[in-house]
Amino acid sequence: MRDKADLMIKCLEFLQKDSSRKGIERILRTVSRYFNLPALALILVQGGTEERICYRAPYPKKIRFAFRLPLENRGRTMGVLLVGCSSFFQHLFIRKFCRSLALLFALELGNRKREQTLRREARLDSNLEIHNRNALEVKKAVLRKRNAPRSVAAIYLDLNGLKEINDRHGHEAGDQMLRRAVDFFAAFFPREHIYRAGGDEFVILESGLQKEEFRARAKELQQALSANTTPKAAMGTAWRARERFVEEAIKEADHNMYRDKNSTRGHDRVTLRRQLYITVIKGETHGIFEHHFFALFFADYFFGLLSFCVFSVVAEHMVGDCQPLVLCLG
């Protein structure tokens, strides 16, 4: 390298290529050897913890002068660059370069930290503090590439009544319902394995579970949902012997969830008279209805539907037209 500018460009290339601990060690080693420094260290502070990355020259050389330069980015101090020199004159010679190097570390590491934060936020449901659909897609892509003999288990859950809660009591009440539901699910499966797939839909995805263990835990969750007043949710499960079949497992769990939801919804509609019934019965009174079939049709009050269904069924051995009787019962 011809001069300090070439060295700085080289450090930038190293850092952009690899900003991990190993990459930073490579930069410290290169700079230290270029200037014949006894020692060079970088101390990073993040979340109250320190990470020390040091390089010490392999040959014995005393540190007669040392200085430090803060790593500042957007008004925040990320750490400090420590420089050990063999003399005061060496310090004068390299101080300007080291100040530029500290600025380079601050900018690149700060950008990396912001990218990681943005990436994490893009995959996190900040309201519920669980993974969102973006994280689920990333997880599926990772598992599809694996061919290890590890199983994957999927549970698809759909909360009941969220729309009604939002309409009647507002979205704050709906958010509270979602948080209670997530806490409820987390009592059976780790929170980091719970994903919010949609507004009121959740996916629990976990690898490495034996089929019997998964079925037992899923059964406990199903029984708890059935016994609990709130939250109420439709649930479907699936298990695959290989992680790369994660897509099939989620689709099967989704299908089983809708089967469970439809059966529950049918029961509720019977209770609330929200389902349309057509019952064909045989009339055997007053002669006129003998050997005739007629339909009883119930109108659905809740959806405001009023339709008529007329059946003209000719009984066996019957002569002439059948005059059906249509009863609309409300």
Q: How confident is the model at residue 217 (pLDDT cuts 50, 70, 90)?
A: very high
For residue 309, what pLDDT is reported?
39
For residue 15, what pLDDT is reported?
87
Query: Cβ–Cβ contacts within 10 Å for residue 96, how many?
Result: 10
Q: Which of 118-132, 263-277, 293-307 has the lowest mean pLDDT?
A: 293-307
In 3D space, the residue among 328, 330, 269 whose CA is nearest the CA of residue 297 turns out to be 328
pLDDT tens track for 264-277: 654 444 433 333 33
For residue 308, what pLDDT is reported?
36
CA 158 to CA 248: how far, in whole Å?
18
For residue 287, what pLDDT is reported?
41
According to DSSP, the residues that pair with 53 across neighbouring strands are 42
Can you point out the beta strands (E) in 164-223? 194-196, 201-207
CA 147 to CA 149: how far, in whole Å?
6
In the three-class reduction of DSSP (H, G, I as helix; E, B as strand; rest coil), residue 72 is classed as strand
| Region 4-122: CATH code | 3.30.450.40
Mean pLDDT (whole number) for 96-109 = 91
CA 136 to CA 204: how far, in whole Å?
10
Checking if the pLDDT of 317 tops 50, the result is: no
Contact between 254 and 156 (Cβ < 8 Å): yes
Please give the mean pLDDT across all residues of the chain. Answer: 78
Could you tell me which residues come within 8 angstroms of residue 77 by beta carbon, excluding any fewer than 6 positions away? 45, 70, 71
HSE (CB half, 13 Å, CA atoms) of 282?
6
CA 71 to CA 104: how far, in whole Å?
9
The CA-atom distances, in angstroms, between 292 and each of 280, 286, 288, 310, 311 are 10, 11, 8, 13, 10
Class of domain 130-272: alpha beta
Residue intervals of the chain classified under CATH 3.30.450.40 are 4-122
Mean pLDDT (whole number) for 96-113 = 89
For residue 265, what pLDDT is reported?
57
pLDDT tens track for 159-212: 988 888 888 888 888 889 999 999 999 999 999 999 999 889 999 999 999 999
* H or E element that contains 134: helix 133-145
For residue 26, what pLDDT is reported?
92
According to DSSP, the residues that pair with 298 across neighbouring strands are 329
Please give the backbone phi and psi of residue 141, each rounded to the nearest 5 degrees, phi first.
-65, -40
Q: How confident is the model at residue 289 (pLDDT cuts 50, 70, 90)?
A: very low
For residue 147, what pLDDT is reported?
76
Residue intervals of the chain classified under CATH 3.30.70.270 are 130-272
Query: Cβ–Cβ contacts within 10 Å for residue 24, how many?
Result: 22
Contact between 32 and 57 (Cβ < 8 Å): yes
Q: How confident is the model at residue 2 (pLDDT cuts 50, 70, 90)?
A: low
pLDDT tens track for 28-87: 999 999 999 999 999 988 777 888 999 998 876 788 999 999 998 888 888 999 999 999
Name the residue with higher pLDDT: 241 or 275. 241
For residue 60, what pLDDT is reported?
67
Q: How confident is the model at residue 321 (pLDDT cuts 50, 70, 90)?
A: very low
CA 231 to CA 242: how far, in whole Å?
32
The pLDDT > 90 percentage for the chain reads 40
Checking if the pLDDT of 315 tops 60, the result is: no
Residue 136 in tokens: 């689920």
